[in-house]
Structure 1
């Protein structure tokens, strides 16, 4: 779990803007596959129009205002509630129901809250971030999955994003429905075998978009996802 968190944290550190920009990748085939994928998932317009997302990840519960960058992270195991704006790192932290007034400790926990959001949200909204600045996409090949279905494999690498450019990911995109079926993480670009190969399945419509969550037989991953058009703003400012 620690290695998976580190991998996605590095990968997603700067990729949290609401509006996806044009991809830096010049691979036309890869970009065309992503375009079909986003259309199948509801379209970028609908994703950008989605304001509030709530979900569980392992032992945490997160609430995210995509438009403002306000995030609430509840971490019951440590009796913490972290209220942080991921763009400014400003916010408040509560432990055992008490406001943390120690500035150094509060700053450390605000950064931790942002890092949790970075990891936990990437496991949920990664398909929508494939055309962000710093992301490079490359079509690798087409092959059959274990279930006999055919998938296009896209290679995902990064430039000027994160601190470990040797990482890479492979995304397996179904030829029939244009949805990611599984993803593989390679710690080093030239590794022959991935550190993990996990499903990206059980797509469900929430609001006007499709998201993959509650993946069968997977302990790690987003669960109990809810998309809302309205949310009491005090959830991001009060205990």
Structure 2
């Protein structure tokens, strides 16, 4: 009975949240854009403003998501991530996925149950890490960069992911200051029914490694906390 009530609460909460989003934002079609050398130049200007070299040299990243329910320690050099939520822990190997391990309450899982939990960890990591390091993924394999002329006369950088991650085909329009530093993006993504939803990227910290990373994001009335963000070597 308690589980049924909880499920109904989740469904009603999701419907309410969806309704608030639809009321708060008007759907925007994907803007017209053009690719070329100027788009790549703007992307490089953005990476330079973010001290991309410091991010490249960073080995460990730590953060959490969903109010601390998902917790991560990512070893970029080794290509591994420790993912924890509830009573699950996954030692995720991003290079050799079949070498990943999943545990529940400290006990190793096996078979289909292990595969399911490992895949959930992969999906969560792809989403939750994007909210942490998306500005550094402008030249990932399968990305298309293009320029959008904004209403105020400035230029935005539209990045479309044609492959990789869990939702290929998503597009993000980065809004930059005069120095190329990002302060927000607009999203056209498969899991959100309206296009042009704006999320802030303005709550930055300079981490121990020198890389810029966000502490939180604002989406209208909502705040997405990234928890205790750390980056070090």
TM-score (norm 2): 0.74
Query: Is 1:112 equivalent to 2:120 in the alignment?
Result: yes
Partner of 1:33: 42
**Aligned partners of 2:103, 2:166: CA distance in 1, in Å?**
30
Partner of 2:199: 198
Instruction: Select which of 170, 174, 178 maps to 2:180.
Output: 178
**Aligned partners of 2:78, 2:124: CA distance in 1, in Å?**
18
Kindly provide the CA deviation profile for residues 2-25 of structure 1, in whole angstroms up to 9, marking residues without a partner as x.
Answer: 9xxxxxxxxxxxxxxxxxxxxxx9
Kindly provide the CA deviation profile for residues 19-42 of structure 1, in whole angstroms up to 9, marking residues without a partner as x.
Answer: xxxxxx952222111111111111
Unaligned stretches of 5+ in structure 2?
A: 1-12, 15-33
Instruction: Select which of 76, 80, 92 maps to 2:88.
Output: 80
Partner of 1:222: 226
Kindly provide the CA deviation profile for residues 95-148 of structure 1, in whole angstroms up to 9, marking residues without a partner as x.
Answer: 123222x2221112112111111111111111111012210011011444xxxx
Partners of 1:47 and 1:209 within 8 A in 2: yes
Q: 1:221 to 1:98 in 2, by over 3 A?
A: same
**Aligned partners of 1:137, 1:151: CA distance in 2, in Å?**
16
Query: Is 1:123 equivalent to 2:131 in the alignment?
Result: yes
Query: Is 1:135 equivalent to 2:143 in the alignment?
Result: yes
Partners of 1:201 and 1:212 within 8 A in 2: yes
Q: 1:32 to 1:164 in 2, by over 3 A?
A: same
Q: 1:113 to 1:160 in 2, by over 3 A?
A: closer
The count of residues paired between Structure 1 and Structure 2 equals 194
TM-score (norm 1): 0.72
Unaligned stretches of 5+ in structure 1?
A: 3-24, 145-149, 230-239
Partner of 2:21: none
**Aligned partners of 1:183, 1:75: CA distance in 2, in Å?**
28
Secondary structure at 1:68 match in 2: coil
Partners of 2:174 and 2:182 within 8 A in 1: yes
**Aligned partners of 1:92, 1:215: CA distance in 2, in Å?**
31
Q: 1:223 to 1:179 in 2, by over 3 A?
A: farther
Partners of 2:74 and 2:81 within 8 A in 1: yes
